[in-house]
Copies of this chain bind each other. A is one copy, B any other.
Amino acid sequence: MHIESVDLFYLSMPQVLDIADGSQDALLVRVRAGGHEGWGECEAAPLPSIASMVCPMSHGACKPVQASVLGQPLNDITDIERIHRLVRLHSFDLLQADHTLSGIDMALWDLMGKKLSEPVWRLLGYEQSQPKMPYASVLFGDTPQETLEKGKRAQTNGFRAAKFGWGPFGRDLQTDIAHVQAAREGIGPDGILLIDAGTVWGDDLDAAAARVPILKECRATWLEEPFDKEAFEAHQRLAALCGPVKIAGGEGSHNAYMGKHMIDYARVGFIQIDAGRIGGITPAKQVADHAVAQGVTYVNHTFQSHLALSASLQPYAGLSGHTICEYPVELKPLAYELSRNHLERDANGQICAPDAPGLGITLDLDAIKRYLVDVQVEVQGKVLYRTPQVD
């Protein structure tokens, strides 16, 4: 079979707020081939990704993404990696292409899984989909008391792990100490405590190092994004100081090399990959393989729909030692409603990548229509993109 169509759908909440919540809009990708259909989702600004899909060619190494996808043969899963290489070769100088490719790659895996009646994780070579333990991701409170209450609430809601981040954290040492202690107290002595610094220290090693004693004392499992994501040396030096507290990072990686560099040069102990940014499931799996080889733990990064969540779980679904997963708990209605089924927590509070063909997620076309954004892009009087029909 050949790829007959690749359609992009831009969805948005009626109002998008200036907060760090990536579920306020979405760019869905639908691929059709040989009577089958697959869906994916880009973690990206929808309009630039649409433009990268349909733009006129700039030169031989700066072609629109669709030039390497439309009409391509798709007969087995090796074709996905081949198409991947084509996009990276022909859109070499088109920066946005990696984000656009992410949703396309997911849709190709979903389509092949449905065609072969296999879950994607099995096509990736895993025999089982291992249960993952979701952590509750919350902002630090404005006061340590609020942080304490948020920790208690996470525990009450059945979360054995909680991540606290952003808010007031990172500016005043004594305040940070109080918040980390409150977070530990809130989730209880057995809870898994994760701290997210949201790149607050730039590349200032001393600022980060000053927090290491309290992180050790409160038995934090990881310190996430202490620095700019590319500040390898600062990461590496901090990792050497942290002992049992591991550094976590990698969500910004937009190709497999970048994810591997976070392991090899930044020396993270937890590598966090967003399949919606790194170029899809294909490069994410390469990073997972490298993590296993290097003794580093893989974790998904996901702040979007359950379609994106399923896609982000696939690359490490079969890795039994890699149990923590990010699980978006406060999704905007758009991101929750766009699928009919969801990855619900079981009696143990755990989730699994679905044991169902493809990504195992059924889209809700009526919901998609409700949030669909009408876009038209014209160049020299010719319409290059117009929001396609959902059905």
Question: Which residues on the B side are within 8 Å of A47 (C-beta)?
Answer: 51-52, 54-56, 377, 379, 384
The verdict on A93 contacting chain B, using a C-beta distance below 8 Å, is yes
Question: Which residues on the B side are within 8 Å of A49 (C-beta)?
Answer: 48
Question: Which residues on the B side are within 8 Å of A59 (C-beta)?
Answer: 16-22, 24-25
The verdict on A345 contacting chain B, using a C-beta distance below 8 Å, is no
Complex Cα distance, B43 from A372, in Å, reads: 32
Contact mask for chain A residues 87-103; partner B; CB cutoff 8 A; 1 contact, 0 none? 00000111110110000
Check if A96 sits within 8 Å of B374, measured CB to CB.
Answer: no
Of A116-124, A224-232, A315-323, the one contacting chain B is A224-232
- Copy count, this protein chain: 2
Question: Given the known A-B contacts A46-B58, A58-B22, are A377 and B374 also in contact in the complex, defined by CB atoms under 8 Å?
Answer: no
| A233, closest chain B residue (CB) | B264
How near does chain B come to A38, taking the closest CB pair, in angstroms? 23
Number of chain A residues whose Cβ lies closer than 8 Å to a Cβ of chain B: 62
How near does chain B come to A182, taking the closest CB pair, in angstroms? 25
Question: Given the known A-B contacts A18-B60, A232-B265, are A93 and B43 also in contact in the complex, defined by CB atoms under 8 Å?
Answer: yes
Check if B95 sits within 8 Å of A254, measured CB to CB.
Answer: yes
Select one of B44, B55, B62 contacting A93, CB under 8 A: B44
How near does chain B come to A262, taking the closest CB pair, in angstroms? 12
The verdict on A381 contacting chain B, using a C-beta distance below 8 Å, is yes
**CB within 8 Å of B: which A7-65 residues:** 12, 16-22, 24-25, 43-52, 54-64
Check if A48 sits within 8 Å of B94, measured CB to CB.
Answer: yes
Complex Cα distance, B373 from A231, in Å, reads: 39
**Further contacts, 5 of them, CB under 8 A, given A48-B55, A48-B95:** A45-B64, A45-B94, A376-B378, A377-B378, A378-B378
22 A-B pairs with C-beta separation under 8 A: A16-B57, A16-B58, A17-B59, A19-B60, A21-B59, A22-B59, A25-B59, A44-B95, A45-B51, A45-B58, A45-B62, A45-B64, A45-B94, A47-B384, A50-B51, A96-B96, A230-B255, A232-B261, A265-B265, A374-B379, A376-B377, A377-B378
